[in-house]
Amino acid sequence: MLRVVRTNVVASTDGFEVRVRYGSPHRLEYEEEDGHLFVLTHDFGRTAEGEGYMIIYPEDAPTWEPPYEEEMLPESKTREIYHRIESALSLMKIPYQFEETPGGTVNGTRWESAEGYSVEILSENKVIYMEADHTIVAQAEVIGPSTLALTVGDFYCWQPPHENETLGEQHRLVILHRVMSGTANLKVSLLLKK
């Protein structure tokens, strides 16, 4: 049986919780009582009528979070997790839809998107975003296991030789979203700070 514990948390008598987390990136967490944690990223969209809904990005290769990342997550278990998440969201009265993320590949510490950009964690204190021949280098701070904090101000201009080109607000928001998405594909969470 499912019950709403808080506005963003549903618990089950079957020994699991589903939590909606808002941040950078937004996270949808499914956790079993033995500590096995499964995380999806989500965003928000609006219908043509202006109604809000949650956009959930399913994992291409679903895995448990550390320290259980080496354990197999069979397809049957993945289906069960998705069904439990859907039931919890329905109970919380959160409209949602699943949406595929644009494809890409992980190459070491670099996410290369099929959309023509890349995100690379160069070291523990640097994240690089690149599209075509334009680059942004953001300073990062380690604030926890697989978690980095980035300063939003680092995303206001390109690196030389393009530092004099204007980077509009809309483009900057797209880049921030891509960086969050890219680091999520690298299994790293981001916190954006001013």
- Label residue 184 by pLDDT band (50, 70, 90): confident
What is the pLDDT at residue 162? 94
What is the pLDDT at residue 127? 92
What is the pLDDT at residue 100? 61
Identify which has the larger pLDDT, 187 or 4: 4
Identify which has the larger pLDDT, 24 or 161: 161
What is the pLDDT at residue 181? 77
pTM summary value: 0.55
Could you please report the per-residue DSSP string of 66-77?
TTSTTS---HHH
Average pLDDT over residues 96-113: 80
User: E strands of the chain, at which residues?
Assistant: 2-6, 9-12, 16-21, 26-32, 37-46, 52-57, 96-98, 104-107, 110-113, 117-123, 126-131, 134-144, 147-151, 189-193
What pLDDT, in 10s, does the model give residues 33-72?
999 999 988 877 777 777 788 888 887 678 899 999 889 8
Q: Measure the CA–CA gap between 9 and 30, rounded to whole angstroms.
A: 10
What pLDDT, in 10s, does the model give residues 132-175?
999 999 988 888 777 888 888 888 899 999 999 988 877 887 78
What is the pLDDT at residue 4? 95
What is the pLDDT at residue 64? 92
